[in-house]
């Protein structure tokens, strides 16, 4: 139904989501936050880091509306749906679904907060909704 590979780099993220926690990483060297993988951040690969719970609050950085059910069978009856790039308060961007019944009201810069949607028994997915 939903094809997702949970690897060692993302395991803590997905385990946190099962507990309705949005987990991100924080460099112990410079205090910068990032979302796995470290290769997509401005944190040096040799920095120590820790997993921390994010506030879950942010703003819509960008978004698109999909009218085609893509990615998996999960989306077959969910079109149209919003794929958003969210800028969290911690200055980390995360791509996810923005859940709304009024797509036309969605705008760049609108405030959002995390919510969690059960996709399977193993996958709880962090989504966002307008504040």
Question: What confidence tens digit (pLDDT) does each residue in 6-21 have?
Answer: 888 889 999 999 999 9
* Whole-number percent of the chain with pLDDT over 90: 62
Q: How many domains does the chain have?
A: 1
pLDDT at 43 over 70: no
64 in a structural domain: yes
6 in a structural domain: no
How confident is the model over 56-80, as pLDDT tens digits? 999 999 999 999 887 667 777 888 9
CA distance 114 to 125: 10
67 in a structural domain: yes
What is the strand order of the sheet 49-53 is part of?
33-34, 23-27, 49-53
User: What is the pLDDT, as a whole number, of residue 54?
Assistant: 98
Supply the CATH number for residue 82's domain: 2.40.50.840
Average pLDDT over every residue of 103-114: 96
106 in a structural domain: yes
105 in a structural domain: yes
1 in a structural domain: no
pLDDT at 2 over 70: no
CA distance 9 to 126: 17
Q: Any idea which of 67-76, 99-108, 110-119 has the lowest mean pLDDT? A: 67-76
47 in a structural domain: yes
72 in a structural domain: yes
- Taking residue 131's Cβ as centre, other Cβ atoms within 10 Å add up to 10
pLDDT at 46 over 80: no
Average pLDDT over every residue of 123-127: 94
Containing domain of residue 19, as a range?
A: 11-130
Q: Is the pTM here over 0.85, yes or no?
A: yes
């Amino acid at each position: 139904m939903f094809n997702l590979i949970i690897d060692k780099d993302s395991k803590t993220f997905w385990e946190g989501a099962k507990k309705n926690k949005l987990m991100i990483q924080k460099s112990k060297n410079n205090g910068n936050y990032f979302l796995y993988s470290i290769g997509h951040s401005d944190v040096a690969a040799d920095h120590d880091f820790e997993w921390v719970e994010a506030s879950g609050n942010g703003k819509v950085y960008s978004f698109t509306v999909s009218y085609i059910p893509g990615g998996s069978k999960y989306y077959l009856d969910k079109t149209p749906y919003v794929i958003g790039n969210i800028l969290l308060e911690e200055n980390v961007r995360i791509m996810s679904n923005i859940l709304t019944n009024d797509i036309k009201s969605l705008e760049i810069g609108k405030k959002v907060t995390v919510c969690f949607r059960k996709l399977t028994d193993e996958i709880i997915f962090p989504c966002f909704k307008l504040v």
